[in-house]
């Protein structure tokens, strides 16, 4: 199925449900689309939405803000400032580990005084959405003793499909899956026939499985390192 624009997707929702805009207003269908996009983003790790952001630690401060619109932190790199500079990936730990480490390193207090090059990180605080300046807080250990540069690699929350943003990567490259997800939302809202709701849920699940194989399978493989994917083909046994 070809990709969708905002206009063609909203038209398709109306055509499939056979319900006019007097019932399914743009406010309602926009919510269907937003819910569906969020569902897809949480079920598939999409390459197109990988991003990174540079920053510098504050000496003696163990917290940094996650990038605005951050959905998932993939990794954090720190540049140690030596010559030549070396990049080190921080190891992810639970917040209890970070708190214990910093408390011990700071002589039994929780005052951040700066103790060295950070080695570990943990999420601290929840995400607050795409339209604000922070999507949570990251805490590191040990507390930085200098303004080391860091790079946060993350999956970002993209701008939603809307009348003012008529196409997205999902709408153009996973249009059928987005449509089926929207129809699940629509038939749930309309309290439509259960068999139709079940049908579109099943069709969505099949499409998202194929999309996930593409995004986290085939796109992450390399023929040189991994070899070409081979599919087993059953054939009849030779005769006597």
Report pLDDT digits (tens) over 92-136.
Answer: 999 889 888 887 544 444 455 557 899 999 988 755 544 445 678
User: Rounded mean pLDDT of 62-84?
Assistant: 86
The residues spanned by each domain of the chain are 6-46+159-221, 58-147
CB-based contact 136:66 (threshold 8 Å): yes
60 backbone φψ class: left, alpha, beta (φ>0; ψ -120 to 50)? left
Q: Please report the beta strands in 93-179, taking only residues with DSSP state E, as ranges in sequence order.
A: 120-124, 137-141, 149-156
Q: Please state which of the ranges 93-102, 161-170, 188-197, 228-237 shows the lowest mean pLDDT.
A: 228-237
Query: Maximum distance among all alpha carbons in the chain?
Result: 82
Q: Is 131 exposed, middle or buried (0-12, 13-18, 19+ CB in 10 A)?
A: exposed
Q: Which of 82, 101, 105 is nearest to 91 (CA)?
A: 101
Give kind and range of the element (H or E) at residue 65. Answer: strand 63-65
CB 179 within 8 Å of CB 40: no
Instruction: For the chain, give the mean pLDDT.
Output: 85
Q: What's the mean pLDDT in 28-48? A: 94
Task: Please indicate whether residue 54 or residue 104 has the higher confidence score (pLDDT).
Answer: 54
The token duo for 74 is 């993939």
Structure tokens at 165: 């943003």
What does the block give as tokens for 156?
A: 């970002």
* pTM tops 0.95: no
> Please, which residues bridge with residue 51 across strands?
154
The per-residue pLDDT for 86 is 83
- Is residue 240 exposed (0-12), middle (13-18) or buried (19+ Cβ within 10 Å)? exposed
Q: pLDDT by residue (tens digit) across 169-187?
A: 999 999 999 999 999 999 9
């Amino acid at each position: 199925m070809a990709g969708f624009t905002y206009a063609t997707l909203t038209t398709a929702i109306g055509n499939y449900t056979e319900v006019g805009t007097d019932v399914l207003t743009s406010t309602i269908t926009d919510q269907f689309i937003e819910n569906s996009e969020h569902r897809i983003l949480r079920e598939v790790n999409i390459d197109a939405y990988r991003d990174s952001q540079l920053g510098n630690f504050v000496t003696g401060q163990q917290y940094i803000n996650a990038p605005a619109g951050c959905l998932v932190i993939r990794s954090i790199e720190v540049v140690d400032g030596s010559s030549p500079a070396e990049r080190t990936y921080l190891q992810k730990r639970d917040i209890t580990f970070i708190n214990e480490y910093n408390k011990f390193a700071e002589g039994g207090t929780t005052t951040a005084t700066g103790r060295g090059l950070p080695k570990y990180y943990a999420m601290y605080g929840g995400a607050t959405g795409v339209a604000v300046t922070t999507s949570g807080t990251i805490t590191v250990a040990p507390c930085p003793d200098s303004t080391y540069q860091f790079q946060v690699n993350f999956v970002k929350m993209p701008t939603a499909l809307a009348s003012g943003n008529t196409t997205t990567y999902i709408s153009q490259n996973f249009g059928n899956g987005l449509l089926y997800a929207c129809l699940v939302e629509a038939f749930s809202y309309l309290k439509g026939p259960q068999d139709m709701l079940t049908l579109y849920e099943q069709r969505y699940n099949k499409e998202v499985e194929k999309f996930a194989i593409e995004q986290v399978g085939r796109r992450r493989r390399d023929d040189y390192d991994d070899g070409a994917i081979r599919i087993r083909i059953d054939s009849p046994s030779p005769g006597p």
